[in-house]
Amino acid sequence: MFVLYDPDTMYIYSKRASKRGAAISMAALKKNKKNVVIGSEEEYNKYNILVPVVSIGSGKTVMIPRSDVGTCCDPSMDIYWSM
């Protein structure tokens, strides 16, 4: 399985079964000026490390995957607490 993701935010754009399918998807994403990298799931998981964030609910530091920072799964964001 090939993963197309943003190397800065670790956001996954899509997953493809073949390298050819991933290359086609990558070309489409590049037209939209997206920063995209093709990698295996193992590579993606190796770089999707845990990072510390401060929870706005408790004020404590918690560790979450880098890909969840800034999303609804991030306890340092208001959207996490409003769901």
Pairs from 11-20 (Cβ < 8 Å, separation ≥ 24)? 11/67, 12/44, 12/67, 15/41
In this predicted structure, what is the pLDDT of residue 61? Answer: 93
Q: Rounded mean pLDDT of 59-77?
A: 88
Residues 12 and 40 in one domain: yes
Residues 41 and 12 in one domain: yes
Residues 61 and 72 in one domain: yes
CB 61 within 8 A of CB 53: yes
Residues 34 and 54 in one domain: no
Residues in the chain: 83
Structural domain of residue 30, as residue ranges? 2-46
Residues 28 and 64 in one domain: no
Q: How confident is the model at residue 54 (pLDDT cuts 50, 70, 90)?
A: very high
Residues 54 and 77 in one domain: yes
Residues 11 and 29 in one domain: yes
CB 26 within 8 A of CB 36: yes
Residues 70 and 54 in one domain: yes
pTM of the model: 0.64
